[in-house]
Structure 1
């Protein structure tokens, strides 16, 4: 690119290091929108689907202070021996709103990105038995990226209000382990926004995760052949038109704190 041209301020992507598009969102809500994943996850625990899942788009709050971006290394928490990934799509809120009607909810979406909801499955199993969770099982890392794609850029893939036909895949160390599609979401982002904004003002930059696409995690495929993630493993999440979110898992380094701090 030559000085004086209209692209003078641009840099080549391959020579740049991308950060998380939203490095510290005001809030991070993760939903449970894909029926196939919910059925599989509950079946692993010997549970049937409950009618309440079809009544409201449920969510939990995750930790907005541990956001990782593309190509960041993810430390395995010392308290888990069952690290898993979750292939999700996320939307970012671009306009404040409270008690947002469903018909107006889509206009509050600034864009879409890929999300990996890293999960400590052994801790999660205990929390879910208690009936309050997931909590610590999701408290240590969430990856988002590689960039934010605005809704108008996806218009030709749209299949309904807030619904898009976009292939979603996951690879571990180059091996394909998951394939799904965003159009299989039972609950759409506009429905999530309308529900979450009841009596609460959503903030610009809030992140809404979709929940895991069907087959988009190791726990759904758990067998004697399936192994949990370990240091050195690389997870690549790809969503059509949204890019690739790649992260390497590493051993956590112990941090020492001064006595009294």
Structure 2
């Protein structure tokens, strides 16, 4: 390892990734403010999502914080405590409309399908058998991570005929993860948790998958909740590598889903991270998604329209529910036991591509 003088007395030129082997207790909530740049300005947000403080005296961006988490996290936690206790200077009212995605662009976005019930429904609706290995080996694709969108940004689409669908998911952001990591060790790399709307263009998917080379055009920009929180902030709701709270989804103002994200998640986040790291290192700032939250209990509703259509096909032989149209809205949120939003909501409208 070659080293030169730098902020800590040296700069690592050849870097070997590692994971923290002890628990770093840092309950806090972080967001990224729009400031006219690509990566925005990191802010610390109060537990009740009412006030915030700019973190530039500590670190300017979330990616930089993730790059050196053990150094920056304790300082950010102290600022978080000060904000919650009313001791922080220059606080301001937090407004999700002013937020970018917490990590506006990431080195990697890997999305899984860990709620196998969702996969089983899709395959059953089209009369396909469920391969037994789907219960033991996660499905995962690598999505576009260069242009994430914020919690209030429109879902822009060139045509309604593409089959516009929302997908409510949980996602984690990691520190550095070494190749070949074991699932139980991979969980230690989780730095932050947030919510995702991983939009799908359902009518483009079949032709793309038929080529045998995965998604690309079918997966437009992914939207994120305004706030990312540490696992410690979730307390007892974060256990066994899962978030144990209902995912609340409204479509055009009507509640359509409230499945529990901790139920029926076959592969926990440690397993998903280990799957992604089987043959490669994962760099700090990698985001891993859970896939569409889905419960076997259909009474809990749905987190994507495709699942509703699959149930209709199974029951009556044909789907009855259409996909999203221009002007449609979707709201995705998750609440604590006191009814307070944990991450802030994703609230988006579908809009046509400007000509």
Give how far 1:97 is off: 2.7
The 4+ residue runs of structure 1 with deviation greater than 6 A are: none
Cross-structure match for 2:23: none
1:245 and 2:340 correspond? no
Q: What is the rounded CA distance, in whole Å, between the counterparts of 2:171 and 2:96 in structure 1?
A: 26
Cross-structure match for 1:257: none
Cross-structure match for 1:71: 152
Shift in alpha-carbon separation, 1:79–1:245, aligned structure 2, 3 A: closer
Aligned partners of 1:86 and 1:217 also within 8 Å: yes
| Correspondences of 1:1-261 after superposition (within 5 Å) | 6-14=87-95, 17-78=98-159, 80-138=161-219, 140-158=220-238, 160-184=239-263, 185-214=265-294, 215-222=302-309, 225-240=320-335, 241-254=342-355
Aligned partners of 1:92 and 1:112 also within 8 Å: yes
Q: What is the rounded CA distance, in whole Å, between the counterparts of 1:228 and 1:16 in structure 2?
A: 26
Q: What is the rounded CA distance, in whole Å, between the counterparts of 2:225 and 2:246 in structure 1?
A: 16
SS of residue matched to 2:226: strand
Scaled by the length of structure 2, the TM-score of the pair is 0.66
SS of residue matched to 1:153: helix
Give how far 1:177 is off: 1.5
Give how far 1:225 is off: 4.3
Cross-structure match for 2:27: none
Give how far 1:96 is off: 4.0
- Higher RCO by CA contacts (8 Å cutoff, separation 6 or greater): 1
Aligned partners of 2:326 and 2:352 also within 8 Å: yes
SS of residue matched to 1:75: strand
SS of residue matched to 1:20: coil
Greater CA radius of gyration, 1 or 2? 2
SS of residue matched to 1:182: coil
Aligned partners of 1:35 and 1:186 also within 8 Å: yes
Q: How many residue pairs get matched?
A: 249
Give how far 1:104 is off: 1.3
* Pairwise CA RMSD: 2.0
Scaled by the length of structure 1, the TM-score of the pair is 0.88
Aligned partners of 1:95 and 1:110 also within 8 Å: no
Cross-structure match for 1:259: none
Unaligned segments of structure 2, at least 5 residues = 1-50, 52-85, 295-301, 313-318, 336-341
SS of residue matched to 1:106: helix
Q: Which has the higher strand share?
A: 1
